[in-house]
Structure 1
């Protein structure tokens, strides 16, 4: 069994196409097909069902895939560690982040990192805090930038607190509250809300604040994208709450201080079992050691 064969299997599984997989791997399709067929003969089972219309994993292929990914990740890690021993940072840096991260200027940090370490492949995954923590635990990403209510803390990972922030109300320019300097949660509870999906960490801080005040509110729109939340708010479909450090990035809306606003904490987290050389270098760039 060869690492290149595993890479071919992953490429086919991810594209559902031998043609696209060959294109991604920069080989001719016949060579890729031959290597996968050779691997299947060695395993004594087929990894893919092939028809004229589609390609999909067999049950054996589905079972084979997680360990194949681990093998490739381990091989990449070994190469990166060897390079780091002689002062070269290579390999992969997979970073997860919430859409509203504000404690770190991610584009600027990645730009500097790329200049210092051009041989590192960088990927970004945007998602909810709780999902990103799980991805760090399973090793699919090395680092993640989260935002959590003050009542929660990342578990099962190494964590460093980056910043604390209070939320502000965000409304359309022609909203009746737009001219107010401050607003209370009680007054906001009379409005229709645009918010993140229920049972996400980003939503929890707001839900908990209203519940603690004994208030109900109407969340008419649940949106996974902070930018699209702001667009709905700008269109007058509701009001929202954003971290005060992130709100200045929004356009077409007005921000108002909330007198009894909930707070959030931003963290960076990484695996407790160790960091890749690239992850260590990126954290060092952020002065986190």
Structure 2
């Protein structure tokens, strides 16, 4: 018998060196895109910063100091108190009017856009393409072009200089309907609708139970577009309204600014009012942005 020759084993306690990775330098395209995004961010954030700084100054400091630096006299709380108290609280009335116009108008316009877009996307009927073409034409028509004809029409109906004269035009969103139609075609699976019909659900119930849930990201987008558009709308309320108690914030603040040449204290009221007017939009953007990231029924159809 021959003895087995021992074999040498490799040492196990020697740690292997990790591979050396070289840090990749950003290419010119990445640098260019990052620079453009920084410029775009500054374009939107600098005016907001200026409004915050201007709201902390007196009328004298507003013109005597640097516009992007705080003045020695910090009077933000005094300015906001004066804004809320001036004219027996007329700013609060304008603020509530804007909430009424923008809130009711955005909710109703979003619902009608969802219903119309869903119907055009999921039902085949005569004139479907023609109606969609008219809607696309409505997207191209600016709101300022229809303000005067609407005023003449509402004057004949007797609803000019009322809340309805601003609310009714806000209920229509051609762009929202177009967006909902495109989104419904891409996300609302026909299998979901057929399953609901087999279960005995009617068309309205299917739309409210299935269609609206799938369209949630598009609805949030339409709602935000309408909310910002109606909140910042100036020309339509200016044409329709003559009673200052019906003014939204935009028309009311411009009314204050027009008096600043004679009464400089209106500069403080205007800057303080502008600061208060942007708070609801900022809150809406922060709260609703999470709904953009995905649909509620992702993966429902297998």
Shorter-chain TM-score bucket reads under 0.3
| TM-score normalised by length of structure 2 | 0.20
Q: TM-score, normalised by structure 1?
A: 0.21
User: With CA pairs under 8 Å and 6+ residues apart, which has the higher RCO, 1 or 2?
Assistant: 2
Name the structure with the higher helix share. Answer: 2
